[in-house]
Amino acid sequence: MIQPVVIYDSKYGSTKRYAQWIAEALSCPVFAREKFNPKDFPHYQAVIYGGGLYAGNIRGIRLLSKNARLLQGKPVILFTCGLSDPENEGTSSAIRQSLSRSLPPALLSQTRLFPLRGSIDYARLTPLHRAMMAAFHKMVKNNVKKSPASLTEEDRGILETYGKSVDFVSRESLKPLLSYCAAL
């Protein structure tokens, strides 16, 4: 197998847990995004990047788009960590849309996406994040009242977990990503 590096951007720790499990399984180095020097990309044959999902965006994804030239020709394995259920087609297509806005087409074509499920503990949220979730929750509830059919998977995730502490992080869910990496 080729020598990859794992890089992650995690605010509350779920993406970090996945990143550490991946690095352990593949016996490769793991870095928090802010600790990784992009000049080191050429030392690795593949890049595994993980970012938490925040308001539909992948945290820290600019590390990849800004360094597209250094990543040319390398397999990029991208995992996201969010509350919406990745088993649902709506979840992965929303993430794909976000990705196509964030990455240049050539880099996108080298990138394989693995959406994973994270966690949330409202008691630990920053005031800004708590306010964002409160506003989003209010908006979703109003939309559902007006048009119940408009409820997306993302909306459902917010409604079901609002105000709670839930943890969907599972080592088992890494199997497809690890098999993909093993076959590179």
Ligand X SMILES: Cc1cc2nc3c(=O)[nH]c(=O)nc-3n(C[C@H](O)[C@H](O)[C@H](O)COP(=O)(O)O)c2cc1C
**Contacting positions for ligand X (CB under 6 A):** 10-15, 52-56, 81-84, 118-120, 125, 129, 132-133, 154, 157
Instruction: Rank residues 105 and 127 by Cβ distance to ligand X and give the closer one.
Output: 127
Instruction: Rank residues 69 and 141 by Cβ distance to ligand X and give the closer one.
Output: 141
Instruction: Rank residues 68 and 125 by Cβ distance to ligand X and give the closer one.
Output: 125
Contact between 6 and 50 under an 8 Å Cβ cutoff? The reply is yes
Task: State in angstroms the smallest separation of the CB of 126 from ligand X.
Answer: 8
Backbone dihedral region for residue 55 (phi beyond 0: left; psi -120 to 50: alpha; all else: beta)? left
User: d(Cα 61, Cα 44) in Å, to the nearest integer?
Assistant: 18
Instruction: Rank residues 111 and 119 by Cβ distance to ligand X and give the closer one.
Output: 119
Instruction: Rank residues 25 and 166 by Cβ distance to ligand X and give the closer one.
Output: 166
Instruction: Rank residues 55 and 123 by Cβ distance to ligand X and give the closer one.
Output: 55
DSSP 81-115: EESS-TTSHHHHHHHHHHHHHHS-HHHHHHEEEEE
User: d(Cα 91, Cα 107) in Å, to the nearest integer?
Assistant: 21
Residue nearest to ligand X (CB): 118
User: d(Cα 115, Cα 52) in Å, to the nearest integer?
Assistant: 10
Task: State in angstroms the smallest separation of the CB of 2 from ligand X.
Answer: 26
User: d(Cα 145, Cα 141) in Å, to the nearest integer?
Assistant: 6
Instruction: Provide CB contacts within 8 A for 33, sequence distance 6+.
Output: 7, 8, 9, 51, 60, 63
